[in-house]
Amino acid sequence: MRMKLLPLFGATLLAFATPAAAQGIPGGVPEPLRGAWYAGECTDPQAMLVVTARAAARIEAEAPARLLRFRETTDVSGWTLGTGVGADSPRLLLRQAAEGLETVEPDPKLRDTQLPGPASPAVWRRCPAAPPALAMLHGEGVAFLAAFEHLEAACSGGGQGVTPGACAAAIVAQGDVSGDGKLSVAELGRLVRGGAWVIAAMEGATQDVLLGAVGAGTLAGILTGRLLMESMDYDNDGLLSAAELAHDSVAFARATGTPAGQPLRTQGLTEGAGMLRGLIEGLMAR
């Protein structure tokens, strides 16, 4: 069971902590356009659009989810054009409007100089609060969608002064719900559930599949959190600190070894070493 948890947790955090394809967008999507937007009535919206600095996720009741991570954003005729990661470079146009927000998914055949093109804009509005059903199903995923952009900034080569310690501190800061500066099993589980939602959305899951992914991520998150705690809680206080997460990543330069002794047989240790390495790489990025 534990070995099966590694692909989920490792893929989740490696996907969001490694250097991202999104580059060249220092300002990203303008602040007024970010946040949650809804199509239809606030009491029973037809769809939800969540916009972050470098991503946009569209969730509907029946249609597959659509999550774009922008590798660049530019200004085009009064619109913000986000160009997504991927072979087909999907695009999304956004602009502020009297009704709230307008978006256009332009025809792939149109050049940027021809945008926005003939397509009619979709209209989105703010709501005082997210409908409870949407909040329960998508809250952790949406929170993680924004959080991993902070992780990328702290853990990838694109940031200034990137160190393992800074990356570990960012992971703790983004996952620390209680505010005690450490991560509990429940807080680690929340990261896994949020990551499971984002991965499912990136794969175009429908809302029922998203629900299943979050449900599966609940058990996986608890077990993975316990495994991490058992593996990395060096002071045995039941919590993971940034120092514990970054311990060997920071200390390896001082681990110079000794010429005494003889090499021992290491066959049979690969599985255990691989397990721990996968956990550390998932947290600390590469």
Residue 59 sits in the same domain as residue 103:
yes
CA distance 186 to 188: 5
Domain end marker among 83, 108, 124: 124
Residues 116 and 143 in one domain: no
Between 126 and 152, residue with greater pLDDT: 126
- Same-domain pairing of 222 and 81: no
Q: Is the pLDDT of residue 226 over 90?
A: no
Predicted confidence band of residue 266 (pLDDT cuts 50, 70, 90): very low
Separation of alpha carbons 57 and 64, rounded Å: 11
What is the pTM assigned to this prediction? 0.74
Q: d(Cα 42, Cα 244) in Å, to the nearest integer? A: 44
pLDDT score for 22? 37
pLDDT of residue 24: 46
Q: Which among 66, 96, 124 is the end of a domain?
A: 124
Residues 119 and 52 in one domain: yes
Half-sphere exposure of 240 (CA within 13 A, CB side): 29
Which pLDDT does position 96 carry in this prediction? 95
pLDDT at 1: 31
Torsion of CA 270, 274, 276, 280, to 10 degrees: 150
Mean of pLDDT values over 196-221: 72
Domain count of the fold of the chain: 2
Domain boundaries, position 184: 132-255+267-284
Average pLDDT, whole number, for the chain? 75
Residue 21 reports pLDDT greater than 60 = no
- Judgement on whether residues 149 and 280 belong to the same structural domain of the protein: yes
The string of pLDDT tens digits covering residues 31-65 is: 999 999 999 898 889 999 999 999 999 988 788 98
How confident is the model at residue 157, as a pLDDT? 55
Peptide bond into 263 cis (omega under 30): no
Q: What is the DSSP letter of 37?
A: E
Q: How far is CA 186 from CA 145, 178, 190, 281, in A?
A: 19, 10, 6, 21
160 and 93 in a single domain? The answer is: no
Share of the chain above pLDDT 70, in %: 70
Are both 145 and 217 inside the same structural domain?
yes
SS3 content of the chain, % helix, strand, coil (to 5): 45, 20, 35
- Same domain membership, residue 278 and residue 179: yes
pLDDT: which is higher, 108 or 250:
108
Rounded mean pLDDT, 134-145: 84
Cβ atoms of residues 43 and 59 within 8 Å: no
The average pLDDT across 183-208 equals 82
- Is the pLDDT reported for residue 285 higher than 50? no
Tell me, what's the pLDDT at 222? 67
d(C-alpha 254, C-alpha 174), whole Å: 29
Looking at the domain assignment, is residue 11 inside a domain? no
The structure tokens listed for 223 are 């077990």
Helices 242-251 and 207-232: crossing angle in degrees, nearest 10, is 70
Phi, psi of 275 (to 5 degrees): -65, -50
Residue 60, CB-side half-sphere exposure with 13 Å CA sphere: 9
- Predicted pLDDT at 169: 86
Yes or no: say if 203 and 235 are a contact pair by the CB < 8 Å rule.
no
The yes-or-no verdict on residue 276 having pLDDT over 70 is no
Q: Which one of 124, 143, 166 terminates a domain?
A: 124
Q: Nearest to residue 56, comparing CAs of 43, 69, 45?
A: 69
Task: Using the CB atoms, write b or e for 105-134: b if 16+ within 10 Å.
Answer: bbeeeeeeeebbeeeebeebeebeebbeeb
Sheet-wide strand order for 35-39: 35-39, 47-51, 55-60, 66-76, 79-84, 91-97, 100-104, 122-124
Whether residue 249 is found in the same domain as residue 181: yes
Average pLDDT over residues 206-218: 67
Please check the confidence at residue 180 and state whether its pLDDT lies above 80: yes
The pLDDT value given to residue 92: 95
Q: What is the pLDDT of residue 245?
A: 73
